[in-house]
Amino acid sequence: MIDESTVEGRVALPLGVAAEVALDEVRQLRAGDRPTHGGQLFAYVYDPAVPGLDELTAAAHRESAHVNGLDPTAFPSLLAMENALVGAAGRVLGAGPGTTAPDVVGSVTSGGTESLILAVKTARDAHPEIAAPRIVVPSTAHAAFAKAAHYLRVALDVVPVSPDTLRPDPAAMAAAIRPETVLVACSAPSYAHGVVDPVAEIAAVAADAGVRCHVDACFGGWTLPYLRRLGEPVPAFDFAVPGVTSISVDLHKYAYAPKGVSVLLHRDAALRAPQYFAYADWPGYTMINPVIASTRSGGPIAAAYATVRHLGDDGYLRLAEVTRDAVAGLTDAVRAVDGLRLMVEPESTVVCFTATEGGPDLFVLVDELTARGWHTQPQLSYAGLPASVHLTVTASVAPRVAEFGPDLVDAVAAARTAGPVALPPELVALATSLTPDALTPELVAGLAAGLGLAAGGTPDRLAVVNTLLDAAPPALRERLLVEFVGLLQRPTW
Ligand SMILES: Cc1ncc(COP(=O)(O)O)c(C=O)c1O
């Protein structure tokens, strides 16, 4: 996009351009993205399709973009907005005056991953006497727990889920708790399948063992209480459950705020204390950080504040109702197609389906759906669970639901006609026999070129890539994707 012809000689950067040219470049680049609005993208974005909300959040973001959350005494506006967001999240999740959790406190973080890393760090640092701390999670827990464990040098004990319910057995969670366990975690709901774990039972076994229990409600924690109010059978999962010590909820998901905002709540200030990092042993300012980032833009916090204030309780209830109806419509569409089956009956805002014996190739189907404008998320087979297609359903999908059914039928027919991806035998052999350590840069470059992943872009059709990854064990999947993404992340000189 940058016009090389304007660069004279060896300068550090290309010469400046007019503001409208710079903005136009951004817009041109954005045109290649998947559409964030319009109700056809079933992952990554959360769109309530509320008129005027984008303008409101952009204006709020602009007001606070240059404000720094590092120092609440210099910028009390951010502290006030953070406290209001924590209060709002607490109220949604069964805390606050008049509840059984009146002392809940919390922090605003940059996202679900930061909230989970901090939940693990807080639990770890509450036990400095444990030399080799561990956490227990179900296999469906978000990958950010594994990242937290990796970053914080905490061991991860993974409890398998039932292939039918996609939930862990609380007794198995209890059995996984050891003397070094500092945290037991579960999801409400899980990202992959939208399933609410048996929180009350898991929190009880954690409490019995004297261990903290974190509920990862990052994904759907903001919708479940509203779905319950609409009459859906949502089990107890929040601070009303004894033994739940912390909960995370992402405002940039179903609170429909622009990206960069999550809330981490603790049942009381004493439980939160180890979350803070303070450092006075240097000649600069004494640093006190409640969260991982030090300098923090006020933009996302102000945008989230404006979103929550504007939509309000009644707005979220209405959006949950619209979303619930969209989930029902999409579920019916999947049920009506021969060759597909739901992984589990939807109980939140996810529709997740797989193929039956003799059904279409799911990765080809995903490409066929993409070709028809529907951007779904393929999930690879894992530990006895088949590959599946994930739909994160947001309110914006509702007006498009009627179009999805016929397009799904069409896409399935096309996928059947195309047949499954036939990987060259040498690629299959590679995927099933190669160890991650044996991957050389040359091998990766050859693979990437063969798969159409070379030279700074991804192909329109990804079934071949997904089929290759699906054939590989998780460690090789990780390594291959690290290498592929590394090839994409190259500077534009
Ligand atoms: C259940 C759950 N936890 C944590 C995360 C991580 O959130 P983020 O992508 O905001 O870091 C996600 C993201 O989808 C999620 O679904």
Interval 351-394: pLDDT, tens: 999 999 999 999 999 999 999 999 999 999 999 999 999 999 99
At residue 402, the pLDDT reads 98
Identify how many contiguous H helices and E strands the chain contains and give both numbers. Answer: 16, 13
Sheet holding 262-266, edge to edge: 105-109, 262-266, 246-250, 212-216, 181-187, 134-138, 155-159
Ligand 1 atom 4 nearest Cα: 112
Indicate if the pLDDT at residue 72 is higher than 90.
yes
At residue 454, the pLDDT reads 65
Q: What is the mean pLDDT of residues 231-251?
A: 98
Interval 430-467: pLDDT, tens: 888 888 888 888 888 888 887 877 665 677 789 999 99
Indicate if the pLDDT at residue 2 is higher than 50.
no
Indicate if the pLDDT at residue 24 is higher than 70.
yes
- What is the Cβ-side half-sphere exposure of residue 409, based on CA atoms within 13 angstroms? 9
Rounded distance between C-alpha atoms, residue 405 and residue 422, angstroms? 28
At residue 8, the pLDDT reads 52
In 293-424, which residue ranges form alpha helices assigned H by DSSP?
Answer: 299-335, 362-371, 401-418
Q: Is 255 in the pocket of ligand 1 (CB under 6 A)?
A: no
Ligand 1 atom 7 nearest Cα: 112
Residue 390 DSSP label:
E
Distance 200 CA to ligand 1 centre (A): 22
At residue 429, the pLDDT reads 84
Q: How far is CA 347 from CA 81, 190, 336, in A?
A: 32, 11, 19
222 CB-near residues (< 8 Å, 6+ apart): 89, 92, 249, 250, 251, 253, 254, 255, 316
Write down the pTM of the prediction: 0.96
* Cα angle: 45, vertex 48, 50; to 5 degrees: 135
Rounded distance between C-alpha atoms, residue 94 and residue 150, angstroms? 31
Query: What atom in ligand 1 is closest to the CA of residue 189?
Result: 1
At residue 9, the pLDDT reads 57
At residue 7, the pLDDT reads 47
At residue 430, the pLDDT reads 82
Query: What atom in ligand 1 is closest to the CA of residue 217?
Result: 1
- Helix, strand or coil, per DSSP, at residue 379: strand
**Cis preceding-peptide flag for 189 (omega within 30 of 0):** yes
Q: Closest by alpha carbon to 85, among 59, 64, 105?
A: 105
* Cα angle: 190, vertex 193, 196; to 5 degrees: 45
Place of tokens 């929180």: 199
Interval 175-212: pLDDT, tens: 999 999 999 999 999 999 999 999 999 999 999 999 99
At residue 12, the pLDDT reads 82
Distance 427 CA to ligand 1 centre (A): 32
At residue 356, the pLDDT reads 98
In this structure, what token pair is assigned to residue 141?
Answer: 């827990």
Question: What amino acid is encoded at 323 in this protein?
Answer: T
Residue 395 DSSP label:
G
Q: Among 147-161, 238-252, 381-395, 470-484, which is the least confidently predicted range?
A: 470-484
Q: Can you state the angle between helices 76-92 and 53-64, rounded to 10 degrees?
A: 140
Ligand 1 atom 6 nearest Cα: 112
CA-CA-CA-CA torsion sign (443, 444, 445, 446):
positive
At residue 374, the pLDDT reads 98
Rounded distance between C-alpha atoms, residue 369 and residue 408, angstroms? 7
Question: Which of 195, 219, 237, 246 to mutate for ligand 1's pocket (most ligand atoms within 8 Å of CB)?
Answer: 219
